[in-house]
């Protein structure tokens, strides 16, 4: 680990598990998820429906709805001003990072690392983090806007809450924000209702609302899925520009590999509630390690311009009702072998800043040896 908080990711998730406890069964929506994203960087989270991407996003700020809750893991948020502010508000819940596991603390202040563990934070603390630090843009833009209030009203509401602006100042700023997201004639648009906006403009308005909070991290959960391809391109470009301007950390969730290629710097591939591969985007497209990632890439139409049939991955994503004890992708994996049904793979290095959780790796070793490295306890194990 490198020193200097400026090098540390502003948000790092370690071992996050969230489950839903329904009458019928317990669904382990995500298990042992690791992620991290730095300032000015875009992390793409990609996977099919049911892979746990949205649950991960919602877990970040405690937006998981009952009957779900976070079971385990840490969500380390490293914005210095926020850490300081929360340390002041909750002086009895501050501790050194070394005692993370045992203490009651959720603010950790040490010589080399200062962060807030959002997974352990109380609701009131989370509320102050929401928007101000981590803002979210969801998938269905029309549904995400309150239909009975004007767009301006909704933006100004957030400005009032987060920036403490008065009426006229808020209106001015709202105009600026709408302008910043590329909505023409912003002053007039402020007084209009969401249903009077087109889909693309609605999404821009939502981005403006997220920006109104002046966040450090922007989480976008499939923001372009409901939009036309051309509008999609515009929104991606907008996000790129905004990120550069404000040094935002961007967490972009999608199932579309094409979008990943456009916008992501690094990618985490999720399957059935687990992350199966981390990689820089070029490395992923050039040499994906995990069989699932390879399958995803192979099924992109543009990768197969001459094919008669698009390659597909047979089968459906399972709904995990128990903790993982083996490789969940094995039933659909073209390269599965016996051990895959007994051993749960861990992340191993497969390249420069690239890891995959698959029993095929480390691939320079013999098969049995490689499998054993997945079941040996390591020094970094945490319960």
Partner 1 sequence: MTSRLRYFFRRLGLSIPVLLFGTTVTFVAIRFGPVDPVAAILGDPTNAAATEEYERIRGQLGLDEPLWQQYVEFLGGLVTLDLGQSWVVAPNTGTVSLIATYAPRTIWLGFWAVLIAIFVGVPLGFFAGTRANTGSDYVASILGIVWRAMPNFWLAVILVSVLSQSDALLGFSWQQLGPDVTVTGAPDLTELGSPSGFLAAVKQVLPAAVVLGSASMGNEMRIGRTAVLETISEKYVETARANGVPNHRVVWKHVFRNALIPLVPIITGEAFVLLGGSVLVETVFGIHGMGWLFYRASIQGDLPLVGSLMVVFIVLIVAVNILQDLLYVLIDPRIGYTD
What is the closest distance, in whole angstroms, from the C-beta atom of residue 213 to partner 1 in the complex?
6
What is the closest distance, in whole angstroms, from the C-beta atom of residue 228 to partner 1 in the complex?
18
φ and ψ at residue 66, rounded to 5 degrees: -55, 140
**Residue 81 contacts partner 1 per CB under 8 A:** no
Instruction: Measure the CA–CA gap between 281 and 320, rounded to whole angstroms.
Output: 28
One-character DSSP codes across 198-257: -HHHHHHHHHHHHHHT--SEEEEESTTTTS-HHHHHHHHHHHHHHHHHHT-EEEEEES-H
**Residue 210 contacts partner 1 per CB under 8 A:** yes
Q: Which of residues 43-62 bind partner 1 (CB under 8 A)?
A: 58, 61
Instruction: Measure the CA–CA gap between 273 and 318, rounded to whole angstroms.
Output: 9
List the Cα angle 269/252/204 in 5-degree steps.
155
Please identify which residue in 59, 144, 224, 243 interacts with partner 1, judged by CB under 8 A: 144
**Residue 136 contacts partner 1 per CB under 8 A:** yes
Please identify which residue in 9, 44, 131, 186 interacts with partner 1, judged by CB under 8 A: 131
Number of residues that bind partner 1 (CB under 8 A): 32
Please identify which residue in 25, 88, 96, 127 interacts with partner 1, judged by CB under 8 A: 127
What is the closest distance, in whole angstroms, from the C-beta atom of residue 170 to partner 1 in the complex?
14
What is the closest distance, in whole angstroms, from the C-beta atom of residue 23 to partner 1 in the complex?
12
Instruction: Measure the CA–CA gap between 226 and 240, rounded to whole angstroms.
Output: 19
Please identify which residue in 195, 301, 352, 377 interacts with partner 1, judged by CB under 8 A: 195
Peptide bond into 67 cis (omega under 30): yes
What is the closest distance, in whole angstroms, from the C-beta atom of residue 363 to partner 1 in the complex?
41
Please identify which residue in 162, 163, 173, 326 interacts with partner 1, judged by CB under 8 A: 162
Please identify which residue in 138, 252, 292, 361 interacts with partner 1, judged by CB under 8 A: 138
Please identify which residue in 103, 128, 234, 299 interacts with partner 1, judged by CB under 8 A: 128
Contacts 24+ apart (CB under 8 A), 24-27: 25/321, 26/321, 26/322, 27/319, 27/320, 27/321
Chain residues in the site for partner 1 (CB under 8 A): 58, 61, 63, 127-132, 135-136, 138, 140, 143-149, 154, 157-158, 161-162, 193, 195-196, 206, 209-210, 213
């Amino acid at each position: 680990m490198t020193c200097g908080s400026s090098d540390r990711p502003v948000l790092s998730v370690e071992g996050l598990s969230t489950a839903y406890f329904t009458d019928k069964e317990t669904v382990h929506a995500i298990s042992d998820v690791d992620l991290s994203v730095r300032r000015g960087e875009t992390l793409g989270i990609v996977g099919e429906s049911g892979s746990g991407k949205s649950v991960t996003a919602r877990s970040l700020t405690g937006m998981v709805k009952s009957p779900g809750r976070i079971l385990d893991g840490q969500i380390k948020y490293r914005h210095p001003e926020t850490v300081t502010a929360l340390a002041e508000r909750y002086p009895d819940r501050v501790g050194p990072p070394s005692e993370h596991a045992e203490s009651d603390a959720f603010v950790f202040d040490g010589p080399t690392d200062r962060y807030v563990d959002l997974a352990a934070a109380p609701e009131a603390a989370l509320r102050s983090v929401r928007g101000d630090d981590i803002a979210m843009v969801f998938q269905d833009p029309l549904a995400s806007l309150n239909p009975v209030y004007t767009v301006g009203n909704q933006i100004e509401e957030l400005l009032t809450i987060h920036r403490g602006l008065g009426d006229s100042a808020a209106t001015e700023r709202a105009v600026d924000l709408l302008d910043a997201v590329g909505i023409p004639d912003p002053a007039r648009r402020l007084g209009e209702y969401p249903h009077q906006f087109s889909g693309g403009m609605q999404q821009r308005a939502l981005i403006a609302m997220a920006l109104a909070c002046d966040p450090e991290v922007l989480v976008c959960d499939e923001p372009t899925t409901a939009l036309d391809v051309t509008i999609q391109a515009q929104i991606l470009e907008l996000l790129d520009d905004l990120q550069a301007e404000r040094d935002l950390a961007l967490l972009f969730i999608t199932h579309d590999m094409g979008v990943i290629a456009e916008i992501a710097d690094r990618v985490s591939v999720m399957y059935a509630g687990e992350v199966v591969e981390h990689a820089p985007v070029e490395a992923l497209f050039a040499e994906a390690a995990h069989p699932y990632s390879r399958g995803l890439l192979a099924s992109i139409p543009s990768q197969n311009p001459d094919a008669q049939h698009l390659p597909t991955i047979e089968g459906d994503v399972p709904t995990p009702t128990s903790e993982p004890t083996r490789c969940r992708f094995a039933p659909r994996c073209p390269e599965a072998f016996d051990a895959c049904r007994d051993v749960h793979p861990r992340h191993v290095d497969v390249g420069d800043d690239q890891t995959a959780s698959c029993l095929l790796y480390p691939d320079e070793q013999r098969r049995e040896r490689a499998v054993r490295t997945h079941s040996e306890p390591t020094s970094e194990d945490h319960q």
